């Protein structure tokens, strides 16, 4: 198989383990832009997201009825288009985590991670020994079904898998330092909307208490050399800039439903003006 062309035109050389473009960008000190997918069921969404300039997409099983077969198909396609496929499962169950990763996902966005024990259990389920206790599948989508030594598969997938823990509760904020200290966790992602709802200030994205939470999680990330991520603020460019200054390097942008509806509304508004009502 020849080299895959990434979103910026650079060749991603094939290897035993598919390259993780988002992980590479973070390692180089860059910022990852990730698009959510809730409604689309076609593999074309991976190519569309790559063409739009995203580094990653995440398939949202927490807030959609999408099935694992669809998830695996899109994940497999995404690696061929040079965009990292991540998946948000509905919970932390090892059964979900293992099947999602076996299906070709290059990373997980885990919702509602509240403490160190939960973070350690996630890492154990998502990484092979000696880093965790993930069950061995052998050749699969992540290695292009090549026949490789098992040790090579396990170590390669451990290195290429990105684990993102979402901080969405006040407990999670209070425990952010302990969560960030867990080996194998790569990103702490603040879920702004769930967090402010838990705080009793739903929708108040500029509330001082939410700002203090951002700062606390950012400090934990700096202390343990982890990446700060933020979601739920795509409608406020000024706030996004503020959080980039604070250190955020993993940003959840919009999702397929929001983008489609925004474009459709704008088109209808234009056409209504043309036809006069």
Q: Any bridge partners for residue 60, and if so which?
A: 88
Those residues whose C-beta lies under 8 Å from the C-beta of residue 124, and which sit 6 or more positions away, are 94, 132, 133, 134
Instruction: Clarify whether 63 is annotated catalytic.
Output: yes
Token pair 């198989």 is found at 1
DSSP the chain: --PEE-TTS-EE---SS---HHHHHHHTT--EEEEEESS--STHHHHHHHHHT-SEEEEESSSS---HHHHHHHHHHHHHTT-EEEEE-SS--HHHHHHHHHTT-SEEEES---SHHHHHHHHHHHS-TTT--PPP--S-GGGTT----HHHHHHHHHHH-EEEEEE-SHHHHHTHHHHHTSTT--EEEEEHHHHHHHTT-TT-TT-HHHHHHHHHHHHHHHHHT-EEEEES-TT-HHHHHHHHHHTEEEEEEEEHHHHHHHHHHHHHHHHHHHHT-
* CA distance readout (Å), 221 to 100, 174, 244: 26, 13, 13
Active site residues: 63
């Amino acid at each position: 198989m020849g080299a895959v062309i990434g979103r910026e035109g650079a060749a991603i050389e094939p290897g035993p383990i598919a390259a993780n473009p988002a992980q590479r960008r973070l390692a180089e000190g860059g910022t990852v832009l990730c698009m959510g997918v809730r409604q689309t069921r076609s593999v074309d969404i991976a190519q569309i997201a790559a063409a739009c300039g995203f580094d990653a997409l995440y398939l949202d099983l927490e807030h959609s009825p999408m099935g694992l077969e669809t998830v695996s198909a899109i994940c497999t396609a995404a690696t061929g288009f040079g965009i990292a496929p991540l998946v948000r499962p509905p919970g932390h169950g090892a059964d979900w985590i293992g099947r999602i990763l076996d299906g070709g996902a290059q990373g997980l966005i885990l919702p509602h991670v509240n403490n160190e024990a939960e973070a350690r259990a996630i890492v154990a389920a998502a990484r092979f020994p000696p880093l965790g206790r993930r069950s061995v599948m052998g050749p699969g989508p992540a290695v292009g079904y090549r026949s490789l030594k098992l040790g090579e598969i396990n170590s390669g997938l451990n290195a290429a898998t990105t684990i993102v823990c979402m901080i969405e509760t006040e407990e999670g904020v209070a425990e952010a330092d302990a969560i960030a200290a867990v080996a194998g966790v790569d990103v702490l992602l603040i879920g702004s909307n769930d967090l402010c709802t838990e705080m009793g200030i739903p929708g108040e994205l500029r509330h001082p208490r939410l700002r203090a939470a951002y700062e606390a999680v950012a400090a934990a990330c700096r202390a343990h050399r982890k990446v700060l991520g933020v979601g739920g603020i795509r409608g406020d460019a000024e706030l996004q800039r503020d959080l980039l200054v604070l250190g955020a390097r993993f940003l959840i942008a919009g999702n397929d439903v929001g983008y489609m509806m925004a474009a459709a509304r704008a088109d209808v508004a234009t056409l209504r003006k043309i036809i006069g009502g």
